[in-house]
Each structure stands twice: as structure tokens, then as C-alpha cells.
Chains A and B, each alone.
Chain A
Amino acid sequence: MKKINIKLMIALIGGSLIMASCGNNSKSENDSLQNEVGMEHDHSSHELGATEENRNVSANIGEMKGDLSVVLKDYFTINENLVEDDASSAAEASAKLVTSLKGFKGSKLSDDEQKEVNDILETAIENAEHISKNAGDIGHQREHLISLSTDIKDLIAIIGTSQKLYEDFCPMANNNKGAIWISNKEAISNPYMGTKMPTCGKVQNVIN
């Protein structure tokens, strides 16, 4: 009698476990589906907002082909955090940059320019995602900052900006191959070397 009871119990527990796990699965699937729908919704509304903003800006300033101010602000924050070796704040700032890059829309771009901008945005978003996901590996963040900075530079070249910016160069970054970054201050503060060598590098180009 006892044995039968045990077997029954096990069968019941086993059965309910499988069911429970299935139930959980379908629930989490639902959740993720809802999340996705929610995200898309957010995204589209964000994009709408961005285009409206862009329209205002391009009405104000004739020759600019979009408003990079939010993108640049987020990018500068990453750099400032990396100058201070603060990987987790850089990751947070980079998550914001992902959002602002995704929301960015150019205006009055030729087909070629639009294609170029799309390519730049794609790699820039990827680089920013890597920086945001690697709060535990500042070296990895800095590697992606090298290529993100080139993306930002190329984006500025096409879109334009009203800010006075500096293209800085550090010969020691990128395993001594050298790397550039964009700054809104004339004084050098080097995001690749951090607190070890914050003033390594020089201004090699002034934008505006």
C-alpha cells in the first residue's frame, strides 16, 4: 500500500513538474512577445518624436542634414566616463546612445548619403551595444570606442553639426596603431588611456 502511494506521488509530482515547466514556457513566451510589441510601440513613437525634432532643427539651420546633438551628448558622456575608468557609467551612457542612434533620422540626404548613413548607424549601434554590455571589461569597451569614434566622425562629416568639435588622436591607443576620438573640448582628455595617461594625444582637426 505504502509503495503504491510513493509511486503515485512521484508520478503526480513528475507530471505536475512537466506541466508547470510547460506552463512557464508559454507564459514567458507570451511575456517576451508582449515586450517586443511594447518595444516596437515605444520605438515607433520615439522615431516619430525624433523626426519632428529634426524637422524643427533643419528649419532653423539650413545646411545641416539632421540633428546629432543627442547622439553627440551621449557619445561624449561615454568618453568622459572612460577617461575616469568608470566602465559601468560608460555602459549606461552607451545604452542611451543605442537609443539615440536608433532614433536618429537624417533629412534631405541623397540616396548615396542615406545608404552611407544607414551603414554607419548599423555599425555604430553595434559598437554602442558592445560598450553597454561590457561593464565588466573596460578594455573591450575601449576597443569598440575606437571604431565607434570613426563612425561618429563619419556621421558628422555627412550630417554636419553646429557645435565646435575637435578630432583628437592618440598614437598609443589601438595597440600603438593609434586611434581618434571626437571631443567638444579643446583640452585633451583621453578615453583610451584613462586615468593612467589622461592627457596623451593631440588635436589633429577642428570641426567648425
Chain B
Amino acid sequence: MMKWLKRIAILLVVILVGIQFIPTDVNQQEEIPKTDIRHVYDVPDNVMNILQISCYDCHSNNTNYPWYSHVQPMRFLMDRDIREGKEELNFSEFGSYSQRKQKNKLDRISKQVKADKMPLPSYLLLHSNAKLSADDKQEIINWVETRLKQNE
């Protein structure tokens, strides 16, 4: 019995060490591109701050990687979230979206935030500072609504 436990334990260690060598993506960009939402719209500082702290890790070309991002299988999950997040909405490329898409995305932002669907619970688990307070949410929603009215 003990023998088997030992074997399983060693096996797990071998696997854990093994997966550390899986190649990873690096989502980082030195300069803020011209298409970033802050260059497209006049985003007030408070809103920009919230976006950067709570959204930009998965929804921009610049992730702020925490220490455990260098450990698998964390990185694997993170890379997937970033890939999927950017596909849905990439604040760094907002300016390259059509007017129609920009409008849609703004509307989606406010609805996802209002319904507490974003940021993802799995992300908040280790990024407690990214959690949106009631005030944060209201600031985003208000900004989106003024923005959408101006676009009409």
C-alpha cells in the first residue's frame, strides 16, 4: 500500500515538473498603441484606472503577470483566459473596431459589469483589488451611457 502511495506521489512530482516546460504565451507590449481606448475616447481618469486594474490583464495587449503566472498549471489557465478575453474585447485595439462594434462592446461592458459577470470569479480569487465596488460599477455604467448617447 505504502509502496503504491509513494509511487503515485513520485509520479505526480514528475508530472508537475514536466508541465513546467510547456511553452507559454507572453502578452506584453511596451508602448500604448494608438488604437487603445484612451486615445479613441476621452476616457476620464477614474474610469481608465478601473479599466486598467480590473480589465486590462485579459482585455488588452498588456498583462501584468503575477509571480505565480510562472508556475504551471496556473499559466496554462491564464493564457487561455487572456486569449479568449482579447478575442471578445481588446481595449488596446478598440480603435480598430467599426463604429457598430465599438457601440456593441460598450453596451456589453456595461451589461456584464452590471450583472457582476465580469471580472471573472476565478480571476478575482487571486486579484482581490480587481473586484469592482458598487461605485466603480456605477462609474463605468455612467460613462458608457454618456458615451453611447454621444455616439448616436
* Chain A interface (Cβ < 8 Å from any Cβ of B): 6, 9-10, 13-14, 17-18, 21, 119-120, 122-123, 126-127, 143, 147, 151
Contacts and interface: CB of A to CB of B under 8 A. Distances in A.
Contacts of A143: 111
A126 B104 CA distance: 10
A13 B7 CA distance: 10
B100 A119 contact: yes
Contacts of B98: 119, 122-123
Interface stretch (B8-16, B36-44, B48-56, B70-78): B8-16
Query: What does DSSP make chain B's interface, helix, strand, loop or mixed?
Result: helix
Contact of B100 (A6, A14, A120): A120
B64 interface: no
Interface residues of B, number: 14
B71 to A, nearest CB: 18
17 contacts: A6-B3, A6-B7, A9-B7, A10-B7, A10-B11, A10-B14, A18-B18, A119-B99, A119-B101, A120-B100, A122-B100, A122-B101, A123-B100, A123-B101, A127-B104, A147-B107, A151-B100
A148 to B, nearest CB: 10
Contacts of A17: 11, 14-15, 18
A18 B98 CA distance: 46
Interface in B99-133: 99-101, 104, 107, 111
